[in-house]
Amino acid sequence: MRNLMVALVAASMSVGGLSAQASPESDRAAFEKYFTNKFPSTPLEDFNNGVYSIDPASRAQWVEIEEFPPYELAIDAGKAEFEKPFANGKGYADCFGNGGAVRGQYPYWDSERKEVITMELAINECREANGEEPLKYSRGTMADISSYMSFISRGQKVNVVIPEGDADALAAYERGKEFYYRKRGQLNFSCFDCHGIGSGSYVRADILSPALGHATGWPVYRSKWGNMGTLHRRFGGCNRQVRAASFKSQGQEYRELEFFLTYMSNGLEFNGPSARK
């Protein structure tokens, strides 16, 4: 069994395109191929539904949940927050175009600032630019606003761009990729160990979801949480589950991880907010 796991981990590294010769697009093509081969009955466009794309029983339960989705209250609360003016009379609409339906623009590489900009980071930067206090990133009002903006952006396709010839952008992508495949914590697991090699397998009563499409459905109402959470909240939880130290939400590490993971889902539709176990 140990030898088998070693072989599988070696395979995961090749899937991730960890060789110096790989390009982001060849990484993405290999990533997509891995999951479409592993789950041949799942249409490519359905991978944005997580575990519900690969398990009929889970999907049936999810369809019932979607009749009265638990994230509706977050959408309503987020809409109210989005439309509430700041003390200076301006509002989020002055920061974001298209009425806030901008989920498809994030994350992106800011070549002047030389860093990854996520939608949640942009929300707080909008607030601070207008004299408002920043929000906590993992849950609460931030998750509500992000839920509303994601909801009105549904159907926009993932299109993360790594500017050609920008060595800093490529380095950020590579750091995100390295984070994804690096083993960590007392359990010595990587992200791909669970959601690549282990995808479709049971962990206790739950089936591990495939990594393809993982970044499309956020924020998420998790039954385990009993409330909404952002993608970086889940990143932190995953790190703690393998008994590794987590990083700060919207810190460089998680933003670059989001940059890589979202790039892997280029071409899929954003469909957040969503409900998960």
Structure confidence by residue, pLDDT tens digits, 137-163 = 999 999 999 999 999 999 999 999 999
Segment 239-274, tens digit of pLDDT: 999 999 999 999 999 999 999 999 999 999 999 999
pLDDT of residue 21: 59
Give the separation between CA 17 and CA 178, rounded to whole angstroms: 10
pTM: 0.92
- Please tell me whether residues 26 and 78 are part of one structural domain: no
- Domain span including residue 248: 2-68+162-276
Pairing of the two strands 274-276 and 227-229: unpaired
Q: What CATH number does residue 144 fall under?
A: 1.10.760.10
Asked if residue 179 lies in contact with residue 16, where contact means CB atoms within 8 angstroms, the answer is no
Asked if residue 156 lies in contact with residue 265, where contact means CB atoms within 8 angstroms, the answer is no
The pair of three-digit structure tokens given for residue 261, joined into one six-digit string: 């993971």
pLDDT of residue 22: 83
What are the C-alpha distances in Å from 66 to residues 23, 43, 60, 62, 94? 38, 20, 10, 6, 32
Looking at the structure of the chain, the number of domains it has is: 2
Give the separation between CA 146 and CA 139, rounded to whole angstroms: 10
Residues with active-site annotation: 238
- Please tell me whether residues 110 and 61 are part of one structural domain: no
